[in-house]
Amino acid sequence: MADSTPPAGASFLVSAPSPEETVIPDDLGQEERMLVGAVEDFAAQEVAPRMDAVTAGDHEVKRELFMKAAELGIFMAEVPEDMGGLDLNVLAITGMCSSDADLGGLGSMVYGHQGIGMLPIVNFGTEDQVEKYLFPCMEGAMVSAFALTEPGTGSDAMNIKTRAVLSEDGSHYVVNGSKQWITNASLADIFILFAKVDGELFTAFILDRFTDGIEVGEPERLLGQHGSDVAGLTLENVRIPTENVLGEVGKGHKVALCTLNMGRLKLAAGNATGAKKAVAQAARYAGERHQFGRPIAEFGLIQRTLSDMAARAYASDAMAYRTAGLVYQALEAMEARGEVTLETKLAALAEFSVECAMAKVYTSEAYNGLADDAIQVFGGYGFSEEYVPARMYRDSRITRIYEGTNEICRLYSQRAILKKWAAGSLDLTPGDAAPVSDGVGFGTMPERIAALKATYRRLAAAVVAHVGPEALADAEHQQFLGSLAEVAIEIYAAESAYLRVAKLAGRPDDGHHHVREALAELAMDRAVDRIRTEARTILGETSQRDQVRSAMSMVDAELPAPVPLMQARALVATKLVSWNGVVPQVTV
């Protein structure tokens, strides 16, 4: 497994990462695979038979399954050993959280508690807070919830209105305000609550559920994730002891951002698994369903759908683990130097926050899009709640909204990248891409990826020159950032798929390498197509009318030429059906 010091965040746009140093899903070791298998068994053996009760919101069943998750060690996974936990590494945690899509509404309860509910206490809790709250949370005796979002603020988390005022005797804070969309609200014993002290200092608190003045609203009726518990909170003169401040007064943004960055990484892994499950459902059905005397998997348009689904799922998986690997390698390098502290851990997550945001966007849209594709493959049956794709479609939709909406993640990623450029830590100066070696525009995969990166740099420079770096923060220029984000995200996804395939090429051949190469080609084709579209959008706005065609011609000359894909699609679809919908992994 790769363990060298990773590159700087977002540097993939200006460099050519080594396949050997890239972490891929196939890199998981025996211990990590055992953990993933244990959670998968829990989902299959304990949760699946009771999914109807979970979906119906049966609190007794959910609490029982929650305790079984605690017995499995899920809630101890990220807790350091000196706090009584398992202290698993980032890759193991990523693998563990990949099961989220298999748990239905229970997944929100389990991982809402394990991640955003517990990690703030792990990272910022005092000894007394750890003893009082963290230990019961690890054992499943307490349920924790993360209370940040408010009516009217949405994704503008730092602009919350909930106010905390220190009492005259300095013993407690009096809190007033309201929260919305709080997962585990009705079940929680404690809340990680955010408020502004004196209306200015953004601060995190631990709030006990049964404190006077708390009112939990009725559970929301949700489109998907049926059975999950989501509700609002009203806080009226709620008294929180000063010893329940989490971290420091005025430093609550550290608690929130650390939790959200890690949350996006975990969500990407869960999304990737959901995407793979959608592919498996579609492929199995296509192999079994007969029309006109043949399995529908033999029809060209179904093959195109299945192969394109498989390519997006394969890229999603590669993207999630590549991003986890960057954080893992950074933390491993720090540990080797004896530099692991809370601050350095936060710095590692912040360094790769761009990649975390982009992975969250790509994988969530893949999961939701592939669930929709699975419904289409099922035809009329896909629209029935009697078949799995219907639940997948409903459950996947929220992943594009929570942990920061995809719009916010797109804007954040590009503002962070352009800020690095302005600061001199990332050189996006445009330069011509090296000519492809075959002279006809196909070239090797690394050459084509380099061409895409040259296009990004050209477009970024055009946007900055047209708008001005400071004006990019203005709302009216968000479309530019959105287009740049599409380009960067597609590059990251296509390159992740290629790096995975290239790394596996150095391992014993299982006879399926040509299929994986086809998956990477399909991911590349999607990237080129979407990048060309966004280039037209940007150049149409930033170029003089009489120069648009020549500007686009320059980009077209850089972008890779189309390659034949019909045989590749047929190959992938045929193999996928024979594999029962699951692309084989290659272990070390």
Residues labelled catalytic: 403
**Sign, Cα dihedral of 474, 478, 480, 485:** positive
Question: Which amino acid is residue 449, in one-letter code?
Answer: I
3-class secondary-structure state, position 230: strand
Separation of alpha carbons 239 and 211, rounded Å: 7
> What secondary structure letter does DSSP report for 142?
S
Give the span between the Cα atoms of 107 and 180, in whole angstroms: 19
Alpha-carbon distance values, 497 to 271, 317, 525, 534 (Å) = 16, 8, 12, 21
Residue 417, exposed/middle/buried by CB under 10 A (0-12, 13-18, 19+)?
A: buried
Report helix, strand or coil for 512. Answer: coil
Sign of torsion over alpha carbons 435, 438, 441, 447: negative
Cα separation, 256 vs 350, whole angstroms: 12
Cβ atoms of 36 and 99 within 8 Å: the answer is yes
Residue type, 309: M
What DSSP letter does each residue of 417-479 carry, written as one string? Answer: HHHHHHHTSS-----PPPPPTTSSS---HHHHHHHHHHHHHHHHHHHHHHH-TGGGGSGGGHH
Cβ atoms 90, 327 nearer than 8 A: yes
- What distance in Å separates the CA atoms of residue 298 and residue 425, rounded to the nearest whole number? 51
**Residue 349, phi then psi, degrees to nearest 5:** -65, -40
298 exposed, middle or buried (CB, 10 Å; 0-12, 13-18, 19+)?
middle
Q: How many CA atoms lie within 13 A of 173 on its CB side?
A: 28
Structure tokens at 276: 């793979």
| 50 HSE (CA, 13 A, CB side) | 20
Exposure string over 521-538, b if 16+ CB within 10 A, otherwise e:
bbbbbbbbebbeebbbeb
